[in-house]
Structure 1
Amino acid sequence: MLSIQHLSKSYKNSRLILDDISFNVQKGEILGLIGPSGAGKSTLIRCVNRLIEPTQGSIVLNGVVLSGLSSSKLREQRRLIGMIFQEYALVERLSVMENVLSGTLGYVPFWRSFFRQFPQEKIDKAFAYLERVGLLEHTNKRADELSGGQKQRVGIARALAQNPELLLIDEPTASLDPKTSRQIMRLIREICKEQQLPAIINIHDVPLAQNFADRIIGLNGGKIVFDGSPDALSETVLTTIYGEEEWHTPAEKEEQIHTKGSSESIEMKLELAV
């Protein structure tokens, strides 16, 4: 379980980027972070693995206080936190397999990684992860030969190679088309449920968050303004998170107009009948 309590982050001469954030994430739970740009979503994710140092508060993963670790101990714990990035963060000139094996660098001696001599056990697991994400036939391709969706699948396999206890996922679908976005989110959800991995996903696409997250936290101005079920994301709640906006799609607007017109027509007929 991940527990974040009273987490705040500020920079010199600036407002609080995160303001007294507290929540828990259970095993296998997928938490979607939504909110406008600048709300603090990416900062929150990076505070969890201390890529950004929190100003105050505690971060505890399975009983280990991450916010109080020394540099050497933090390196050990970071092996247990898989990170999946918006821009994939692959080494383009390396093969798919080599990129996946880079997820094991925290577990093998430097000389082995330098000469790309990974233990057979790690290689076998990398093959299994590539099969799980549907890329087994692309094992020897260079990363720069892949599509965006395939690159994101490599990123997922690389994160799994770390044998993580937590997944942090930053805008996994921002560069993908709608169909591929749904496939990637479905894959992430299936893997989290299979391995009982907790995950925090920073995501702008509200419908995707509603479809694939178990729980939603809405941030605005560095504060939690909503924490609840995806089903509870009403227009009122979305307005609290994002500000005033027209939340109906064009199709929904058309349906509303049609329904309103039909109702007025029925009322007129009833009046005439009377």
Structure 2
Amino acid sequence: MLKLKKLVKTYRTGDQALKAIDLEMPEGQVLALIGPSGAGKSTLIRCINRLVEPTSGEVWLDDLELTHLKASGLRRARREMGMIFQEYALVERLTVMENVLSGRLGYVGFWRSLTRRYPQSDVDEAFRLLDRVGLLAMADKRADELSGGQRQRVGICRALIQNPKLLLVDEPTASLDPKTSRQIMRLICELCAERGLAAIINIHDVALAQMFVQRVVGLRFGAIEFDGPPEALTPDVLTTIYGEEDWEATIKKVDDDGNEIEAAE
């Protein structure tokens, strides 16, 4: 479904953020990107939808190669890649409903988008999504009246209303408390399962990634150091990705419902 071939990003300074990344993921898979700051996680996500231009390599979404698309083709391709941002990227003065509907801007014409006259089917879908994430009663509230967790839920709805094939999620829990972080990760994974939707989640919290995702990719200095299931994140693996540390307390064993369980003595 998504395939990266020898993806490279080198900045003008000569710093190489990504080093020949090869990665494939199927439909419906939720993948976490982990690694230290500066490892290339955000750059990788942004190279996929070309918010950052790759230096070389290829990005394939199904049978479409994205890295050589011109402006109009890229706009169409971005409809199929929903983006959820760390800092929410909401328009503060607009309502929750207006922010969600902005996810349809790639589908409606210029004048409709300018006057915010969306088809009724889009409005109905926005209401359904807000109901699903527990924000239906807040549809008419301004975005600047919401908590961090509520803002992130609006961002999730805005991405999903695009009806994408792939979600690109950049640090969705970075500004949230532990309980809200779990709720947001659980919600993203549940929605992906309901829609058969693939997702790449850039996340710093290793235990949170282990608790919810199906696959983990660890980056270090722009290269893949680990690619496997969450249960394979041993202390040795984490040392390879992050460096020396006592990792035993970081690795949490969880049951089928995502609850932590006591390690055997």
More helix by share: 1
Report the count of equivalent residues: 252
State the partner residue of 1:232.
232
Instruction: Report the AA paired with residue 186 of structure 1.
Output: R
3-state SS in 2 of match to 1:58: strand
Compute the displacement of 1:137 (Å).
0.7
Compute the displacement of 1:112 (Å).
1.0
- Which residues of structure 1 form unaligned runs of 5+? 253-258, 260-274
State the partner residue of 1:169.
169
Percent identity reads 63
State the partner residue of 1:243.
243
3-state SS in 2 of match to 1:137: helix
Deviation per residue, 1:44-66 (Å, 9 max, x gap): 00000001111111100011101
Instruction: Report the AA paired with residue 24 of structure 2.
Output: N
Deviation per residue, 1:219-264 (Å, 9 max, x gap): 00000000001000000000000001121339x9xxxxxx7xxxxx
**Whose radius of gyration is greater, 1 or 2?**
1
Distance 1:249 1:170 in 2: 25
Deviation per residue, 1:120-174 (Å, 9 max, x gap): 1110011011111111011000001111000000000000111111100000000
Distance 1:148 1:13 in 2: 35
3-state SS in 2 of match to 1:185: helix
Distance 1:206 1:75 in 2: 34
3-state SS in 2 of match to 1:93: coil
Distance 1:162 1:64 in 2: 18
TM score, norm. by length of structure 2:
0.93
Question: Are 1:109 and 2:109 counterparts?
Answer: yes
Deviation per residue, 1:181-219 (Å, 9 max, x gap): 000000000011111111000000000110111100000
State the partner residue of 2:196.
196
TM score, norm. by length of structure 1:
0.90
Distance 2:196 2:3 in 1: 16
Mark the CA change 1:121 to 1:18 in structure 2 (over 3 Å): closer, same or farther: same
State the partner residue of 1:160.
160
State the partner residue of 1:24.
24
Q: Where has structure 1 moved over 4 Å in runs of 4 or more?
A: none
Distance 1:100 1:13 in 2: 38
Tell me how large the CA RMSD over aligned residues is: 1.2
Distance 2:13 2:157 in 1: 40
State the partner residue of 1:132.
132
3-state SS in 2 of match to 1:67: coil
> Pairwise mapping of residues 28-43 of structure 1 onto structure 2 (< 5 A)?
28-43=28-43
State the partner residue of 2:4.
4
Distance 1:143 1:157 in 2: 13
